Amino acid sequence: MKRLVIVEDQTAIREMLVEILRTDPNYQLVGESGDGQAAYTLCVEKQPDVIVLDAKLPGLNGVDLLRRLTKQLRNLRVLVFSGHENPMLVREMLEAGAHGFVEKTAGLLEFKKGLETVATGGTYFGPAVAALLRNVVANPSASASSDFLTDREREILQLVAESHSTKEIAAKLNISVKTVDNHRTNLMRKLNLHDVASLTRYALEIGLIEPKKLT
């Protein structure tokens, strides 16, 4: 029986997955979370064998969460279950350590097949993601990544795009306001973007935030 954690910020979807998997004899559900930072703490504490991971999470996005977890939990198996499957996001999730990626539009049967495959050591991609990966192979420039940003810069970019003030970001990350300002300046210089609206659009393009968070 595999120890399982579900990380999904949409409450209705998370509760649905919990109900479906709680009675599955192949898994022992040891935790659930809708927040990236809380999910990291939960997974380090519970030491799951497999996690179901949404790509878009508040506080700490799925890519950065996965990068941290794979350093702590060497044998962790990860299935990304997301409504967003742009080429950059898929590439970054795979590079961070994901073993499968199923789009939410694929349905529950596809999800369960993907989870079983990943949990037992395989790799699995839903039909839309598989088609996207074929396109990336044919057009490599479609998956240009944001790897030139540091992990801290990506964190701050996400928080800026989510409309947090400099003081709020400093408090969330337990760093000084001056340090936040320095990172913001570096972000703008690296990206050649000079206002919050431009940073927000960029964060949306690379999959750090969801469109609904722009309102």
Tell me the mean pLDDT in the region 6-35.
94
CATH 1.10.10.10 fits 151-214, yes or no: yes
How far apart (Å, rounded) are the C-alpha atoms in residues 63 and 108?
Answer: 23
Residues 6+ apart with CB under 8 A from 134: none
Distances (CA, A) of 159 to 1, 66, 88, 178: 37, 18, 19, 16
- pLDDT higher for 105 or 206? 105
Grade residue 136 by pLDDT with cuts at 50, 70 and 90: low
DSSP lists the bridge partners of residue 81 as 102
Annotation: CATH topology of 2-142: Rossmann fold (3.40.50)
- pLDDT higher for 13 or 131? 13
Which pTM value belongs to this model? 0.69
How far apart (Å, rounded) are the C-alpha atoms in residues 112 and 91?
Answer: 22
Task: Rounding to the nearest 10 degrees, give the CA dihedral for residues 149, 152, 157, 159.
Answer: 160
The residues spanned by each domain of the chain are: 2-142, 151-214
Strand (E) or helix (H) holding 28: strand 27-33
- pLDDT higher for 132 or 70? 70
Grade residue 140 by pLDDT with cuts at 50, 70 and 90: low
- Asked if the model's pLDDT at residue 150 lies above 90, the reply is no
- Tens digits of residue pLDDT in 164-180: 899 999 998 899 999 99
- Asked if the model's pLDDT at residue 184 lies above 80, the reply is yes
Residues 6+ apart with CB under 8 A from 169: 156, 159, 160, 180
Residues 6+ apart with CB under 8 A from 61: 36, 55, 154, 158, 207, 208, 209
What share of the chain in percent tops pLDDT 90? 47
- Tens digits of residue pLDDT in 63-105: 889 999 999 998 999 999 988 767 778 888 888 899 999 998 8
- Asked if the model's pLDDT at residue 137 lies above 50, the reply is yes
- Asked if the model's pLDDT at residue 210 lies above 90, the reply is no
pLDDT for 138: 54
